[in-house]
Amino acid sequence: MPLTMSLPSSMDPATVDLVQGRLASIRETEGVAIPLAIESGSRAWGFPSPDSDYDCRFVFVRPVEHYLSPWPRRDVIETPIEGDLDVNGWDLGKAIRLLMKGNAVIIEWLTSPIAYGVDEVFRRSFLNLAEQVAERNLVARHYLHLGFAQRNRRLAGRVSIPLKAIFYTVRPAAALRWLRQRPGEAVAPMNFQTLIEECAPPPDVVRVLDDLLARKAQTRELGEAPLPEPIARFIDDEFRAGEEAFPKRPPRAGAQEQEQAEAFFRAMVEHVWSSSGATPQAERLSRLRTWP
């Protein structure tokens, strides 16, 4: 399974080596394939600080016989957080189920610009599935809940706030604006600068964000200050508009979408293991039929 990497020169080579070592150990000890391993968090979103954490996220695929067992394996793999290094991932089946529920996290993983190792056939196929079956109203509700949580946690009731907290609340607000502007799409850009450029907030909002981005890239601590009025207005306006545009309602995914997701799952399990040079699926299935 050929994997491509895309790592900016600003990333610490020693930490990148630690990430790759963790991934190699997971493949060996868990017996899984990892067709997608990317960076999430502030580095991938496009607003890192010099001391930003390394948040590697991955999708793994178990051998086909594991999916035929009456005792399902765990659908998450977690490794200990050490210093600024955090590496964990989801089983392909879990990632698909969450996508169908409107969880935008897997969409962001698929569009991350920083890749520790990605099978591009897998990524393109998964993105294609997301564009077909992700329900935009549920994706928008994901960003709405995330935005409310960030605002309540980081901004509410404070005279002075950590300025870096602005990015974590503006990002879901901007994603909601982007989705409202594009009724036919459900996959908003992951990169913060691209998201802001495409959703075109008011000029005074852009000026504040440009200044904060430039400062955040150069310093470990932005300090605290009152929430800038243009930012407060933008957040409130977009959350209010998001609630009106994307009302709470049950998922609409039906039999056709589930069939598409199942077909994708089977195809990717086949693809991942056939392209890895491991025992072909047909041969492994033949062995299963020979018991006892």
Q: Are 116 and 5 in contact (CB under 8 A)?
A: yes
pLDDT at position 288 over 80: no
Which is more confident, 255 or 243? 243
pLDDT at position 125 over 80: yes
Which one, of 71, 77, 111, lies nearest residue 92 by Cα? 77
**pLDDT tens digits, one per residue of 203-231:** 999 999 999 888 887 776 667 788 899 99
Confidence band, pLDDT 50/70/90 cuts, at residue 159:
confident
Mean pLDDT score, 99-106: 92
Query: Torsion over CA of 131, 135, 138 and 142, rounded to 10 degrees?
Result: -10
Q: pTM for this structure? A: 0.88
Distance between CA atoms of residues 171 and 134, nearest Å: 20
Tokens of 176: 């909601």
Query: DSSP letters along 65-121, please?
Result: HHHTSSSPPPSEEE---BTTEEEEEEEHHHHHHHHHTT--HHHHHHT-S-EEEE-HH
**pLDDT tens digits, one per residue of 30-70:** 999 999 999 998 899 988 887 788 999 999 999 999 999 99
Distance between CA atoms of residues 148 and 190, nearest Å: 19
Distance between CA atoms of residues 199 and 256, nearest Å: 32
pLDDT at position 291 over 70: no
State percent of the chain over pLDDT 70: 93
pLDDT at position 284 over 60: no
**Residue position matching structure tokens 């870096």:** 164
Q: Are 54 and 42 in contact (CB under 8 A)?
A: no
Which is more confident, 247 or 251? 247
Distance between CA atoms of residues 170 and 2, nearest Å: 37
